[in-house]
Structure 1
Amino acid sequence: MKPGNAFTITITLLITILFVISAGCTAPVQQSPASPAVTAADTPAPAADCPSLIFTDQEFAFQFLRTIGASYAGEADIGECLATASRIEEGNFESWYSEWNRTADTFRTAGDESLAAGHRVSAMEAYYRAATYYRTAEFFLHGNPADPRIVETWGKGRETFRDALALDVVPYEIVDIPYGNTTLPGYFYMVDNSGTPRSLLIVQTGFDGCQEELHPYAMEGVKRGYNVLTFEGPGQGEVIRVQHLPFRPDWENVIEPVVDYAVSRPDVDEDRIALWGISLGGYLAPRGAAYDPRIAALVADPGTYDVGQNLLRNLQEGGGVPANMTEEDLHEWLLTDPVEFNDALREAMAENTGTRWMNENGMFVFNASSPALFWAKWMEFSLDGIAEKIQCPTLVCDGATDHLDPDGMQAKGLYDHLTCEREFMEFSDEYGAGSHCQFGAFGQSFAEKFDWLDDAMGMKG
Structure 2
Amino acid sequence: MGKAAETFVAGFSANPDFDFEIRCVLGLAFAGASDTGEVLAAVNGIGKNDHESWFAAWDSLGDRVAAIGDASSEGGHDESAASAYLRASAYYGVAVNAVSALDSVDRLLPTFTKQRRAWERFIGTTSVDARSVEIPYENTTLPGYYFRSAAPGDAHPVLVAVNGSDGSLAALWASAVSGALARGYDALVFDGPGQQSMLFERDTTFRSDWEAVLTPVLDFVLGHAGVDADRVAVYGISQAGYWVPRALAFEHRFAAAIVDPGVVDVSTSWTSHLPKSLLKLLDENENAKFDREMALGLKLAPGAARTWNFRARPYGGLGYAETIEAVRAYSVVEEADAITTPLLITEPEDEQFWPGQSQQLAALTPTVSTVVKFTAAEGANYHCQPLARALTEQRMFDWLDAVLASK
1:401 matched to 2:350 = yes
Instruction: Give the Cα–Cα distance (whole angstroms) in 1 for the partners of residues 308 and 101 of structure 2.
Output: 9
Structure 2 residue aligned with 1:338: 291
Of the three residues 226, 232, 235, the one matched with 2:191 is 232
Q: CA deviation at 1:147?
A: 2.9
Q: CA deviation at 1:50?
A: 7.9
**CA distances 1:194-237 after superposition (whole Å, capped 9, x unpaired):** 78222111111112113232112111001111111111111111
1:412 matched to 2:359 = yes
Of the three residues 89, 95, 102, the one matched with 1:137 is 95
> Judging changes above 3 Å, is the alpha-carbon distance between structure 1 residues 313 and 420 closer, same or farther for their aligned structure 2 residues?
farther
Q: CA deviation at 1:80?
A: 0.8
- Map 1:50-199 → 2, pairs under 5 A: 51-142=9-100, 147-192=105-150, 196-199=154-157
Q: CA deviation at 1:276?
A: 0.8
1:211 matched to 2:169 = yes
> Judging changes above 3 Å, is the alpha-carbon distance between structure 1 residues 392 and 349 closer, same or farther for their aligned structure 2 residues?
farther
Amino acid at match of 1:344: G
> Judging changes above 3 Å, is the alpha-carbon distance between structure 1 residues 337 and 174 closer, same or farther for their aligned structure 2 residues?
farther
Q: CA deviation at 1:364?
A: 2.1
TM-score (norm: length of structure 1): 0.80
Structure 2 residue aligned with 1:454: 401
Amino acid at match of 2:358: A
8 Å Cα contact 2:160-2:235 kept in structure 1: yes
Amino acid at match of 1:301: D
> What SS does structure 2 have at the residue aligned with 1:250?
coil
Amino acid at match of 1:437: C
Structure 2 residue aligned with 1:267: 226
Structure 1 residue aligned with 2:216: 257
Amino acid at match of 1:448: R
Of the three residues 325, 331, 346, the one matched with 1:382 is 331
8 Å Cα contact 1:124-1:165 kept in structure 2: yes
Instruction: Give the Cα–Cα distance (whole angstroms) in 2 for the partners of residues 69 and 236 of structure 1.
Output: 22
Instruction: Give the Cα–Cα distance (whole angstroms) in 1 for the partners of residues 384 and 238 of structure 2.
Output: 6
8 Å Cα contact 1:145-1:364 kept in structure 2: no
1:436 matched to 2:395 = no
Instruction: Give the Cα–Cα distance (whole angstroms) in 1 for the partners of residues 249 and 101 of structure 2.
Output: 34
> What SS does structure 1 have at the residue aligned with 2:378?
coil
Instruction: Give the Cα–Cα distance (whole angstroms) in 1 for the partners of residues 268 and 114 of structure 2.
Output: 39
8 Å Cα contact 1:359-1:371 kept in structure 2: no
Instruction: Give the Cα–Cα distance (whole angstroms) in 2 for the partners of residues 286 and 443 of structure 1.
Output: 24
> Judging changes above 3 Å, is the alpha-carbon distance between structure 1 residues 263 and 82 closer, same or farther for their aligned structure 2 residues?
same
Instruction: Give the Cα–Cα distance (whole angstroms) in 2 for the partners of residues 169 and 107 of structure 1.
Output: 19
Instruction: Give the Cα–Cα distance (whole angstroms) in 2 for the partners of residues 253 and 49 of structure 1.
Output: 44
**CA distances 1:286-341 after superposition (whole Å, capped 9, x unpaired):** 111111111111111110112347867887xx85479xx79xx6394458762113
> What SS does structure 1 have at the residue aligned with 2:359?
helix
Q: CA deviation at 1:64?
A: 1.2
> What SS does structure 2 have at the residue aligned with 1:437?
coil
Amino acid at match of 2:372: M
Amino acid at match of 2:16: Q
> What SS does structure 1 have at the residue aligned with 2:66?
helix
8 Å Cα contact 2:79-2:127 kept in structure 1: no
8 Å Cα contact 1:390-1:419 kept in structure 2: no
Structure 1 residue aligned with 2:236: 277
Q: CA deviation at 1:381?
A: 0.3
> What SS does structure 2 have at the residue aligned with 1:436?
coil
1:305 matched to 2:270 = no
8 Å Cα contact 1:232-1:238 kept in structure 2: yes
**CA distances 1:410-441 after superposition (whole Å, capped 9, x unpaired):** 21211111143211112101132112111121
> What SS does structure 2 have at the residue aligned with 1:152?
helix
Q: CA deviation at 1:124?
A: 2.0
Q: CA deviation at 1:172?
A: 1.4
Q: What runs of 5+ residues in structure 2 fail to find an aligned partner?
A: none
**CA distances 1:87-137 after superposition (whole Å, capped 9, x unpaired):** 533222222111211111111112222222333322222222211111111
Structure 1 residue aligned with 2:312: 363
Amino acid at match of 2:264: Y
Question: What RMSD, in angstroms, separates the aligned Cα atoms of the two structures?
Answer: 2.8
> What SS does structure 1 have at the residue aligned with 2:87?
helix
8 Å Cα contact 1:65-1:439 kept in structure 2: yes
Q: What runs of 5+ residues in structure 1 fail to find an aligned partner?
A: 1-46
TM-score (norm: length of structure 2): 0.90
Instruction: Give the Cα–Cα distance (whole angstroms) in 2 for the partners of residues 55 and 89 of structure 1.
Output: 8
- Between the two proteins, the alignment pairs up a number of residues equal to 402
Deviates more, 1:382-391 or 1:266-275: 266-275
> Judging changes above 3 Å, is the alpha-carbon distance between structure 1 residues 332 and 257 closer, same or farther for their aligned structure 2 residues?
farther
> What SS does structure 2 have at the residue aligned with 1:438?
coil
Instruction: Give the Cα–Cα distance (whole angstroms) in 2 for the partners of residues 153 and 60 of structure 1.
Output: 18
Instruction: Give the Cα–Cα distance (whole angstroms) in 1 for the partners of residues 132 and 199 of structure 2.
Output: 18
Deviates more, 1:52-61 or 1:426-435: 52-61
8 Å Cα contact 1:60-1:91 kept in structure 2: no
